[in-house]
Structure 1
Amino acid sequence: MDTQDGNIMTFKQFIACATFALSAITAQAAPVLIDRVIAIVDDDVLMESELQKRLNTVRVQNRGSELPSEDVLREQVLERMISESIQVQMADRSGIRVTDSQLNDAMLRIAEQNNMSLQQFEQAMKDEGVSFVDAREQIRNEMRVSRVQQFQVGERIQITDQDIDYFLASDIGRMASAEEYHLRHILIEVPSSASPEAYKAANDKADDIVKRLRAGANFASTAMAESSGRTALNGGDMGWRKEAQLPSLFADVAPKLAVGEVSDPISSASGFHIIKLEEKRGGSTKMIDQTKVRHILIQTNEVRDDAQAEELIQQLYERLQAGEDFAALAREFSDDPGSGASGGDLGWVNPGDMVPAFDATMENTATNEISAPFKSRFGWHILEIQGRKKTDVGEELQRNQIRQMLYARRFDEELPIWLRKVRSEAYVDIKEAQ
């Protein structure tokens, strides 16, 4: 795709031009390279300093692992940055934004998943030599990119009731909850226009990689050096997948692998795939514990700070202890628009549906009892436990789970094709030899 004409420069382009002009003015002195453009991607420019920050993050995240050569790692990271730039620009054109509040919630969830407070998480990153500010903006971009992908790819995926019926009737459908697989993946990409010679060369390369892996080569390091897949910089780690969540071309292969075994190359339209079964675990429980709960939420706002919110929730707790009606107080005071109008009723809640602080308080409060006030990232809560029951996974829940599995499978299959398409249509000018 051609570059756009015009006299308007992006901020990065302005900085790049200013740096060049400054170096010309000071040509008499010894030149000092402050920064340089390494790639132009449509209307964006990528700078050397940005690449170095990303490389440093990759090194920190993979400390203790054998990394590929510097040239290979640099090429992998730069290509990832180019792909992200294309998608971030698509987000810009589509008006996709992530507010500071949404970003803060995401950062807090990440910290909680690592059993840390946000302050502890920030300090841990600093201790690793990673800028917390840069990490925040990277996560913001990843959230925007995810929304672009959901809009561009996800919106085209429709899972019908007939799709679910076919799945339930299949062998894999009957075994969907039986076992889960932890896989790693390498993709040796073959362009759609590849010549027979290029196709054979890719096939030979995949065969050679399989031999090296079976001879003891580290799969994660090999994936980082050789794979064109989206998980390459994570050592090819695909995480845990139920059999029904596997891309269809892996579904027949993964169950037949022994733990630690590497597959033969698997041919697809994208190229040649190699997978390794890291771990396997079986069966999920069909019964789930559900809790019927209602709550009152008090949040801070323009006229109420956190101390005042805490004072108000304490006053409401005392009124409830004195016998006032929970539903009436929830309708009058709760800041949760969804449940407040119905007297704070949240219905039957499954484990994990709520934030950790809510889940923990719900679990530790007896039936027909009201909890003491507690705080989550959403504000101050009081909750009342109205009942508990064990529920079998019903047909509706089962079908919803299968719908999500089939959607995830098709999304994983469609996304690489879409990424190759937008990459081929973008103007990319790399300013350094690769």
Structure 2
Amino acid sequence: MKLITVFSIFILSFSAFVKAQVQELDKVAVIVDQTVVLESEIKDLITTVKANAIRNNQNLPNDRVLRTQAIERLITEALQMQMAQRMGIQVSDPQLEQTIQNFASSENLTAEQLRAKVESEGMDWEQYRERIRKELITGEVTRANVRRRVYVTPQEIDNMVSLIDEQGAEEVEFQLGHILVGFPSEATQEDIDSAKTRSERVIELLQKEDADFRKIATTASSGPRALEGGDLGWMNVNTMPTLFAEVVADAKKDDLIGPIRSGAGFHILKILDIRGKQIAEIEEVNARHILIQTSVILSEERAQQMLSEFKNQVINGEAEFEDLAKEHSKDPGSAARGGELGWNDPSIYVPAFKETLAQLDEPGELSEPFRSVHGWHLVQLIGKRVGDVTDKLKQDKAYQLLFQRKFGEEREAWIRQMRDQAYVEVLE
């Protein structure tokens, strides 16, 4: 009997030990205000970055450096998700499915083919879906908070129009590589001197014949695109931050520029590539729409059904689209005008809306009800035209260029401010 008791105690102890070991497979790695970053999240992000690097033939630094960069990315993401919760920003399953369908369509795939592709690259489909959901939420939080920090004056627009007219400044685009050696928002002189010294060392590394910019950027940069090798993509001098536009105008491919000091730290740029004048006609679209937004008392199915009923009423001559829009549309900007949106470049709309417009050919043609991040829409095409570059279009273009430039600058400042004000503890 005593032997059985001892054996039972041993089994219970061993079970508890095994259970403890299983729980150790995931643990809290970082405390970020009211939430945490798990070890599994860090590992998943590093795995994704490595998979992307293999596809893009990109060299990466060692795992320790990747881990540091991944932790910073996840800290920012955690703060944005907490803010989204406070703001009530959510992405429903239908919105998510619509976005994934748009992704698949952009690659000429069905949703099922996209899933097979994702899983063939070693990613879990549900984790992929939740990653997309999180990116949609953090993107909306960023836009909502940064947009109100951006103000473009009429004088700035006039100056930009003159610059476009006189210099054709938007015709040359630069693919920029970027490294930011940062310092705190309330930096001491010692912090600034230390960052400057580090940035000069990075320049020395980049000047070596076998230097790999993307690898060094992933290792050394604290900029928002560090995990992508510092690649900022294609920009012209009107869309890039003013600080960069002032120094790249006469640069050549593979030129290194910097360090350039800003309020965030010291910037180092590399001209990865340059491309010249892009000629294209702008097709403008005028349409009207009805927007129905779901709520606790209005389900997704009912919203879609309402728009189907509206479509049938218009087709059967029982109602005018404009009257239905004035009565039912939840878009405050267009409802009073019968849902009319005016002549616009379709690229200004969210992907689901843009793609639906592209499928309409004849004036008066109606779409099927469809879902975007804003809600459920029914669209009627008014007309399409190839737009000349009128003064209004020039001003709109100038505004968008200035807005994008300022948005990038303010986004970086907003993230840095949010990070500085947060309580963050990285656990060993």
Place the TM-score, normalised by the shorter chain, in its bin: 0.7 to 0.9
Tell me what 2:8 maps to: none
Contact 2:282-2:387 within 8 A present in 1 as well: yes
Contact 1:189-1:202 within 8 A present in 2 as well: no
Tell me what 1:19 maps to: none
Pair 1:36-2:27 in alignment: yes
Q: Work out the CA distance in 1 between the residues paired with 2:97 and 2:287.
A: 27
Contact 1:287-1:393 within 8 A present in 2 as well: no
Tell me what 1:167 maps to: 160
1:47 deviates by 1.4
TM-score by length of 2: 0.76
Pair 1:58-2:49 in alignment: yes
Deviation per CA, 1:328-362: give whole Å up to 9, x if none. 589789x9947999899776564556533541452
Pair 1:137-2:127 in alignment: no
Pair 1:193-2:184 in alignment: no
Pair 1:202-2:198 in alignment: yes
Q: Work out the CA distance in 2 between the residues paired with 1:382 and 1:155.
A: 29
Q: Work out the CA distance in 1 between the residues paired with 2:29 and 2:278.
A: 49
**For the structure 1 residues 416 and 301, does the alpha-carbon distance in structure 2 shift closer, same or farther, using more than 3 Å as the test?**
closer
Q: Counterpart of 1:35 in structure 2: which amino acid?
A: D
Tell me what 1:288 maps to: 282
Tell me what 1:46 maps to: 37
Deviation per CA, 1:242-268: give whole Å up to 9, x if none. 210111111122222212333242222
TM-score by length of 1: 0.75
Pair 1:90-2:80 in alignment: no
Q: Work out the CA distance in 2 between the residues paired with 1:252 and 1:199.
A: 22
Aligned-partner SS, 2:386: strand
Match of 2:412 among 410, 416, 427: 416
1:182 deviates by 1.6
Q: Work out the CA distance in 2 between the residues paired with 1:61 and 1:430.
A: 26
**For the structure 1 residues 346 and 161, does the alpha-carbon distance in structure 2 shift closer, same or farther, using more than 3 Å as the test?**
closer
Q: Work out the CA distance in 2 between the residues paired with 1:294 and 1:115.
A: 28
Deviation per CA, 1:49-68: give whole Å up to 9, x if none. 12111111111111132111
**For the structure 1 residues 189 and 26, does the alpha-carbon distance in structure 2 shift closer, same or farther, using more than 3 Å as the test?**
same
Tell me what 2:296 maps to: none
Tell me what 1:427 maps to: 423
Q: Report 1:143-158 matches (<5 A).
A: 143-158=136-151
**For the structure 1 residues 44 and 295, does the alpha-carbon distance in structure 2 shift closer, same or farther, using more than 3 Å as the test?**
closer
Pair 1:271-2:265 in alignment: yes
Aligned residue-pair number: 396
Can you give the 5+ residue segments of structure 2 that lack an aligned partner in the other structure?
Answer: 1-11, 292-298
Identity rate, percent? 31
Aligned-partner SS, 1:153: helix
**For the structure 1 residues 26 and 348, does the alpha-carbon distance in structure 2 shift closer, same or farther, using more than 3 Å as the test?**
same
Mean Cα displacement is larger for which, 120-129 or 283-292?
Answer: 283-292
Aligned-partner SS, 1:260: coil
Contact 1:328-1:343 within 8 A present in 2 as well: no
**For the structure 1 residues 159 and 294, does the alpha-carbon distance in structure 2 shift closer, same or farther, using more than 3 Å as the test?**
closer
Q: Counterpart of 2:16 in structure 1: which amino acid?
A: T
Q: Counterpart of 1:416 in structure 2: which amino acid?
A: E
**For the structure 1 residues 88 and 375, does the alpha-carbon distance in structure 2 shift closer, same or farther, using more than 3 Å as the test?**
closer
Q: Work out the CA distance in 2 between the residues paired with 1:425 and 1:296.
A: 41
Tell me what 1:259 maps to: 253
Can you give the 5+ residue segments of structure 1 that lack an aligned partner in the other structure?
Answer: 1-21
Deviation per CA, 1:39-94: give whole Å up to 9, x if none. 11111122111211111111111113211101111111011111111221122223
**For the structure 1 residues 28 and 411, does the alpha-carbon distance in structure 2 shift closer, same or farther, using more than 3 Å as the test?**
closer
Tell me what 1:234 maps to: 228
**For the structure 1 residues 23 and 348, does the alpha-carbon distance in structure 2 shift closer, same or farther, using more than 3 Å as the test?**
farther
1:100 deviates by 2.6
Contact 1:224-1:236 within 8 A present in 2 as well: yes
Q: Work out the CA distance in 2 between the residues paired with 1:382 and 1:42.
A: 43
**For the structure 1 residues 250 and 329, does the alpha-carbon distance in structure 2 shift closer, same or farther, using more than 3 Å as the test?**
closer
Match of 1:72 among 65, 70, 74: 65
